[in-house]
Structure 1
Amino acid sequence: MKSYDIQTLIPPQQLQQTIERLAREIAADYEGQSLLLVCILNGSFIFTADLARELSRHNLEVEVDFMKVSSYADSESTGSVKMDFDMSRSITGRNVLIVEDIIDTGRTLEHLLRLLRTRDPRRMALCCLLDKPSRRVNGLQADYVGEVIDDLFVVGYGLDYNHRFRELPGIGIMNIEE
């Protein structure tokens, strides 16, 4: 039976400060405009909710929609991207902010961004809570980055290991012991 050791990497208070900073940056860039947040499920649902609330405190008009794409099995990228479901609204002519929990290799997001650009948004940007540039296999860069982390397997605050540990209030480094 597996046991899990999770050590705190980013405590809840630091996450809140990071989200407040991101909201200030985004609100300044979209002042007086509306913004559609596209939450990439499953991992970014908590981050998207907290970011949307913080953006509304900055008087930014936001809407939220959801997409689900996948490329992971357990803790490894499979290299192939699968669209599980698409958003419900058109993004044509709209300001769109893709909200992702973590950017690892960048393959999934590169595929997704290529697809969404064909839908003719007015402006499209990418926001991630966590960025692992050491794992990137392409030149993908987020417009808004919460925290840059080393090549660690992390869980909590929406990020999971086999659908577990999403509920943790902070980000933790996970070690799996057989």
Structure 2
Amino acid sequence: MNPDHISLHNKQFEPYLSATQLATAIQELATRLTQDYAGKTPLLVAVLNGSFMFVADLMKGLKFDCEVSFIKVASYQGTSSTGSVKEVLGLSEDIKDRHVIIVEDIVDTGHTMRMLLDTLAAKQPASLEVATLFMKPECLQHELSIRYVGLSIPNDFIVGYGLDYDGLGRNYPDVYKAV
């Protein structure tokens, strides 16, 4: 499945990043995390829905014991952030004194990540880091120190590899950008 263009709802998308490029970026992140978390057993907190493919592939490359949990937050409507974040499904594990890595598909405005970092930091983890597949530095509206970034990208609206446009497009193994 690698069409030249895809159409979702009322938008057209063109190829942007191949599955091979994504796999390379994810493996590089897995290697860095493996070095930094050797001898530790962190909890990966994957942010649904967008990160499900990323966290699955990332975990395959990790060479240490870890656990995974999922949380669901919503801040997007259509192609833009609503600016407010609503926690939908929360974390049930006790993270006090645990090493926690938030696994996110994309950080753009930073609203969701700021809320998650503040919420989880209040639970007193031993450490708290973020691993994101995509980062849009020019969109950030919050001071965030994100240590693990797969790919920095411009402010293009993208779909595929877990990212969607109003529910569609997550199933594509490649990433497409709106034209």
Classify the TM-score, shorter chain: over 0.9
Contact 1:43/1:159, CA 8 A, preserved across alignment: yes
Deviation of 1:128 after TM superposition, in Å, equals: 0.4
1:70 aligns to what? 74
Asked if residue 26 in structure 1 is aligned to residue 33 in structure 2, the reply is yes
Normalising by structure 1, report the TM-score: 0.93
1:36 aligns to what? 43
1:135 aligns to what? 139
CA shift digits 1:135-164 (9 cap, x unpaired) = 111111311000010010000000000000
Q: Any unmatched runs of 5+ in structure 2? A: 1-7
1:106 aligns to what? 110
Contact 1:98/1:127, CA 8 A, preserved across alignment: yes
Asked if residue 96 in structure 1 is aligned to residue 100 in structure 2, the reply is yes
Q: Structure 2 counterpart of 1:102, which letter?
A: I
Deviation of 1:34 after TM superposition, in Å, equals: 0.6
Work out the CA distance in 1 between the residues paired with 2:15 and 2:41: 36
Work out the CA distance in 2 between the residues paired with 1:45 and 1:117: 23
Deviation of 1:2 after TM superposition, in Å, equals: 4.8
1:79 aligns to what? 83
Work out the CA distance in 1 between the residues paired with 2:173 and 2:163: 11
1:122 aligns to what? 126
Deviation of 1:167 after TM superposition, in Å, equals: 0.4
Deviation of 1:3 after TM superposition, in Å, equals: 4.4
CA shift digits 1:99-126 (9 cap, x unpaired) = 0000010011101110100101011100
Matched length: 172
Deviation of 1:9 after TM superposition, in Å, equals: 1.2
2:158 aligns to what? 154
Relative distance call for 1:27 and 1:4 in structure 2 (3 A) is same
Q: Any unmatched runs of 5+ in structure 1? A: none
Work out the CA distance in 1 between the residues paired with 2:13 and 2:114: 30
Relative distance call for 1:115 and 1:2 in structure 2 (3 A) is closer
Aligned pairs for 1:38-53 within 5 A: 38-53=45-60
Normalising by structure 2, report the TM-score: 0.92
Work out the CA distance in 2 between the residues paired with 1:122 and 1:101: 23
- Which segment drifts farther, 139-148 or 124-133? 139-148
Identity of aligned residues (%): 40
Asked if residue 16 in structure 1 is aligned to residue 20 in structure 2, the reply is no
Q: Structure 1 counterpart of 2:107, which letter?
A: I
